[in-house]
Amino acid sequence: MLILDALSKTYKSGDTALSDVSLNVPKGQIMGLIGPSGAGKSTLIRCINRLVEPTGGKVLLNDVDLVGLGKRDLRQQRRRIGMIFQEYALVERLTVMENVLSGRLGYVPFWRSYLRRFPADDIARAYALLDRVGLMEHADKRADALSGGQRQRVGIARALAQDPELLLVDEPTASLDPKTSRQIMRLLIEICAERGLPAIVNIHDVPLAQQFMQRIVGLRAGRVVFDGPPDELTQDALTTIYGEEDWNAMRKGDEEQTAAEADARDRLAALVV
């Protein structure tokens, strides 16, 4: 179970990315995080494993507070948190197998990882995961030889190799076509269900979020403005998240703008249905 308590982040430039975010993610829950770009979604998930250093608040993962841990302890805790990235973030010039095994780096001493001599258990686990994501025969290929969907599967396998207690997923489908996006989302959901893993998924595609998430949190300007099941995400809720100013700006009386406004409303409505 993950508890965020009054989490805040202000960048050195003075921009406040997160202010006072408090959330509970129970075991097995898949939570979608939506919001306009710049709302702080990616800062939020990076504050959890401290790729971005939060400036205030607490992050409790199964009762361990991650904020304020020393370097070594932080590394130990990071092993418990698997992360999946927008553009896969695989090490392109390494083989698929090495990419999956890199999920074990926090568990093995440097010399083993340097010589690529991972323990037998780790290797068997890596093969099992590759089999699970359907890439068994690609183990020896270089990561840059794979297609986008395949790369994201490797990314999932790498995160799972950590044997995590939480998955952080940053825009997993942003660089994939609609069909592959759905396959990847389905795979993620299945895997989380199999392992009872909680997950936080940053996602900008609202229909996709509604289709797959159990719970949706809307973020706007670094604050939680919506928190509920997907079917409560009404048109009004979406306006709260994505902003009203744009709508108001269009309301200048001009006929063309009224038409544009209607169009925008229609599209939003289509999203909600």
Partner 1 sequence: MSSAYPTSWKRPPQIIKDRRWRIAIQIGIVVYLVLAISTVDVNWARVYEGLERGQRFIMGFLQPDFTSRWRDISTGLVESLTMTLTSTVVGVAISVPIGIGAARNIAPHWIYAICRSIIAVSRALQEIIIAIFLVAMFGFGPFAGFLTLSFATIGFIAKLLADDIEEIEEAQAEAIRATGASWWQVVNYAVQPQVMPRLIGLSLYRLDINFRESAVIGIVGAGGIGATLNTAISRYEYDSAGAILLIIIAIVMVAEYSSSYLRKFLQ
Partner 2 sequence: MTELSHHSQIWTYRTPRARLLLWGGWLALVALFVYCWQVMTARTMWVFVWDAPTQAADIGSRMMPPRWSYLPELMGPLWDTINIATLGTLGGVIMAVPIAFVAARNTSPSLLILRPIALFIIVASRSINSLIWALLLVAIIGPGLLAGIIAIALRSIGFIGKLLYEAIEETDAKQIEAITATGASGVQVLSYAIVPQIMPAFWGITVFRWDINIRESAILGLVGAGGIGLKLNASLNTLAWGQISVILLLILGTVVVSEWVSSKMRHAII
CA distance 267 to 107: 48
Among 2, 18, 44, 97, binds partner 1 (CB under 8 A): 97
Partner from partner 2, partner 1, none contacting 140, C-beta within 5 to 8 A by type: partner 1
Q: Does 127 bind partner 1 (CB under 8 A)?
A: yes
Class of residue 10 by CB neighbours under 10 A (exposed 0-12, middle 13-18, buried 19+): middle
Q: Is residue 61 a contact partner of residue 166, using CB atoms and an 8 Å limit?
A: yes
Name the nearest CA neighbour of 35 among 200, 192, 262.
Answer: 200
Residue 120 interacts with, from partner 2, partner 1, none (CB under 5-8 Å by kind) = partner 1
The pattern of x and - marking residues 140 through 179 that bind partner 1 according to CB under 8 A reads x-x-------------------------------------
Q: Which does 125 bind (CB under 5 to 8 A by kind): partner 2, partner 1, none?
A: partner 1
Which range of residues in 124-132, 146-154, 239-247, 256-264 is near partner 1 by CB under 8 A? 124-132
Q: What whole-number distance in Å separates Cα of residue 214 and Cα of residue 117?
A: 40
Q: Does 111 contact partner 1 by CB under 8 A?
A: no
* 3-class secondary structure per residue, 27-46: CCCEEEEECCCCCCHHHHHH
Q: Does 95 bind partner 1 (CB under 8 A)?
A: yes
Considering CB distances under 5 to 8 angstroms, the limit depending on partner class, which of partner 1, partner 2, none binds residue 103? partner 2
Is 165 a residue that touches partner 2 (CB under 8 A)?
no
Extract the tokens encoding 253.
């009386």
Show the tokens assigned to 142. Answer: 């270089």
The position carrying tokens 């997907």 is: 230
Please tell me whether residue 139 binds partner 2 under the rule CB under 8 A.
no
With CB under 5 to 8 Å by kind, the binding choice for 92 among partner 1, partner 2, none is partner 2
Distance CA 185, CA 190 (A): 9
Binding residues for partner 2, per CB under 8 A? 49, 51, 75-79, 81, 83, 85, 87, 89-94, 98, 102-107, 110, 113-114, 155, 158, 162, 168
